Amino acid sequence: MGEAREVMDRLTDAVTTHADLKVFGELYAEDAVAFTPDEGELRGRDAIVEYWRAMTEAVPEARFEVLHSYEAGDTAIDEGIFSGRNTGPLELPNGETLPPTQKEIRIRGVDIATVKDGRIVDYRLYFDERDFLGQLGLMPDEPF
């Protein structure tokens, strides 16, 4: 196992099993960049740690089922299913906070992390935000 895989596995553990803001801060470089479907581009460790804080508070007992796991050089890629119950407030990109829905979610997604000197410098998260919000009951019933 290479460095990228080790760091990605630590991130997955921190998001699901042992949520800890200090660990998130240790995993990302100070000038890291992340791209997420719900928040767009996040620049800097502090912004990324804040993103994970909000996610782990919204779904505090999350699980991640790895479907595919890869490592190529300095990059690790995971495809899997993120699941759990929304028991904490959900912070929206517009600054609003929604109360917990108490609903179960099960979202398929892909994480890509590029690692330099033991820290993530570039992170990309892909999941279907409409599916996520729909499972929480937050999408209108009207088709597009």
Question: What's the pLDDT at 142?
Answer: 56
- Identify the CA nearest to 93 among candidates 34, 141, 130, 51: 51
Inter-residue contact 124 to 35 (CB < 8 Å): yes
**Full-model pTM:** 0.90
**Residue 143: which pLDDT band, with cuts at 50, 70 and 90?**
low
- Output the pLDDT for position 39: 92
Q: Quick one: what percent of the chain has pLDDT higher than 70?
A: 97
The answer for residues whose C-beta is within 8 angstroms of residue 72's C-beta and 6 or more apart is: none
- Across 24-38, average pLDDT: 96
Compute, in degrees rounded to 10, the torsion defined by CA atoms 117, 127, 42, 1: 0
Task: Give the Cα-Cα-Cα angle 112, 53, 64 (nearest 5 degrees).
Answer: 50
Contact 62, 84 (CB under 8 A): yes
- Angle, helices 45-58 vs 3-16, to 10°: value is 40
For the chain, the straight-line distance linking the first and the last C-alpha, in angstroms and rounded, comes to 45
In the numeric block, which tokens belong to residue 30? 């100070």
What is residue 3's predicted lDDT score, i.e. its pLDDT? 97
Tokens of 112: 């890509």
What is the model's pLDDT at position 19?
A: 83
Instruction: In whole angstroms, give the CA distance from residue 29 to residue 41.
Output: 15
As a whole number, mean pLDDT of residues 125-129 equals 95
